[in-house]
A and B are shown apart, each in its own frame.
Chain A
Amino acid sequence: MMQTDQQMTKSIAIVNANGPLSTNGGKDSLDAALIYGSYEQPVSLFFHADGVFQLIQGNNLSSIEQKDYLKTFEALTFYDIENIYCCGQSLAQRGLEQDFAIEDVQVVNIDDFATKLAEHQIILRF
């Protein structure tokens, strides 16, 4: 694992708020999360609003010739990214079940989601 110049760590929250094909944000945020993870910075992922569409079962990006970056979610544990929070209210608003393409997704209610997010020192939203 790589180390930064100063051996300080900050807790980082990366929030996804768009669907997998809405913007490039999902892929860009995942790239950032993996780099933070490889430098041993504690990273948590949050999925809010349309971001929850990234987690659910059945996305098929390659069917329209897009890179299936969602497959990389399976590698998150290798980067010690274990806190993956999904907003329960966002799921409910969209009529979605808790049927995810990856394991270890924690569905939390909106208050806990906000509280957990606020515990981080850096928040980036994509």
Chain B
Amino acid sequence: MPSLAFVVTTAPTSQNTATAINIVKAAVQNDINVIGVFFYQQGVLNAAKNLAIPNDEYQTKQHWLQLASEFNIPLHLCITAAEKRGLTDEVDDSIEQAFTVSGLGELVTLSSQADRVIQL
């Protein structure tokens, strides 16, 4: 089975993040093994526990959580980038559980294992 890894660098408020979610979903639904999504730069904000998106708008985080639970896709967070933006897994945990706290080393692992790495 071919494999892909994704790097997501856009914030949850960006329409491009919805595109990333739909691309990842289309991949797993078409027998592509998505070995992980790595959140970097503004992308780490997707993991914020306290995101409050109005009900009538696109629920970015819910879609990530659904992807993770339905298809077992690992969501990795660059913790350095996250902490810079006020997210922490220590006191007052502000990171959604579905996201694994990682570092850039995880990006290296994904890069070495996936057939292609797609930056979004």
Interface residues of A (CB under 8 A from B): 2, 4-6, 8-10, 12, 24-25, 28, 31-32, 35-36, 39, 41, 122-125
Point out the residues of chain B lying under 8 angstroms from A125, CB to CB. Answer: 119
Point out the residues of chain A lying under 8 angstroms from B104, CB to CB. Answer: 31-32, 35
Interface residues of B (CB under 8 A from A): 7, 40-41, 80-81, 103-105, 107-109, 111-113, 116-117, 119
Task: Check if B105 sits within 8 Å of A9, measured CB to CB.
Answer: no
Task: Check if B119 sits within 8 Å of A12, measured CB to CB.
Answer: no
Give the Cβ gap from B4 to chain A, nearest Cβ, in Å.
12
**Known A24-B41, A28-B40, A28-B41; contact A6-B105, beta-carbon cutoff 8 A:** no
Give the Cβ gap from B11 to chain A, nearest Cβ, in Å.
13
**Known A28-B40, A28-B41, A31-B104; contact A122-B111, beta-carbon cutoff 8 A:** yes
> When A and B form their complex, what is the total count of cross-chain residue pairs whose Cβ atoms lie within 8 Å?
46
| A–B complex contacts, Cβ < 8 Å, 9 sampled | A5-B109, A5-B113, A6-B113, A24-B41, A32-B107, A35-B105, A39-B105, A41-B112, A122-B111
Nearest A residue to B115 via CB reads A121
**Known A28-B40, A124-B7; contact A12-B113, beta-carbon cutoff 8 A:** no
**Known A28-B41, A125-B119; contact A4-B109, beta-carbon cutoff 8 A:** yes
Task: Check if B119 sits within 8 Å of A10, measured CB to CB.
Answer: no
Point out the residues of chain B lying under 8 angstroms from A36, CB to CB. Answer: 108, 111
Give complex CA distance A114, B7 in Å: 22
Given contacts A4-B112, A122-B117, 10 further A-B contacts (CB under 8 A): A2-B105, A6-B112, A6-B113, A9-B112, A28-B40, A28-B81, A35-B105, A35-B108, A36-B108, A41-B111
